[in-house]
Amino acid sequence: MRHTTGKRHTAAGRMAALILAALLLCGARHAAAAQAEEESAVQQETVSAEAIPVDIDLTPLSQTMLIARSAEIIGNPDEYIGKRIRTVGILQAIEFDGRTITSIYLGDASGCCGTALEFNRAGDYRYPEDYPSAGSVIFVEGTFERYEEDGVTYCWLNDAVMSTQKFTD
């Protein structure tokens, strides 16, 4: 079950919205990554690796290697379905067709090239109340899965945990 509600939308429109958001972030400066952690009322989730084992941890990678590895995962999803993945990137929140799609932007060091990976948080969370502001650096950990909508197959991190603080091991 999806974490947001609203009208159904077309696959082409959804893809256009994701591409537009990625392009907008391409022009953004990577200063956000160096920014002090945002103080907010957002409840922080911390997870130990012992509680939920991680199969692939992308957080120690350089930004260039992060984008290469994320492209590999998205380009060859059959090899990664069911794997628990941990990553770091920039929060995107795209309002589309009456609902919000949340994703994590994974970009290279120049900030011009990258990909967005949708995520679905475990639990009952609503945007914007339960999230930091769009553009914040976030850590996301979830199970890489596929879902189909309007005849199009998408990949996402499902049952995800999100935090503005690095996960502890």
Range with lowest mean pLDDT among 63-67, 82-86, 109-113, 118-122: 109-113
Summarised one tens digit per residue, pLDDT across range 64-81 is 899 899 999 999 999 999
pLDDT of 108 above 80: no
Instruction: Report helix, strand and coil shares of the chain as percent, to nearest 5.
Output: 20, 35, 45
CB 122 within 8 A of CB 81: no
Q: Which fold is adopted by the domain 49-163?
A: OB fold (Dihydrolipoamide Acetyltransferase, E2P) (2.40.50)
Question: How many residues can be counted in the chain?
Answer: 169
Where are the chain's structural domains? 49-163
Summarised one tens digit per residue, pLDDT across range 129-138 is 999 999 999 9
Please report which confidence band the pLDDT of residue 113 belongs to, taking 50, 70 and 90 as the band edges.
confident
Average pLDDT rounded to a whole number, residues 27-50: 38
The pTM (predicted TM-score) of the whole model is 0.72
Dist. CA 163–CA 54, nearest whole Å? 16
The per-residue pLDDT for 38 is 38
Residue 114 token pair: 């990258």
Q: Which residue has the tokens 């879902």?
A: 147
Range with lowest mean pLDDT among 17-26, 117-126, 145-154, 160-169: 17-26
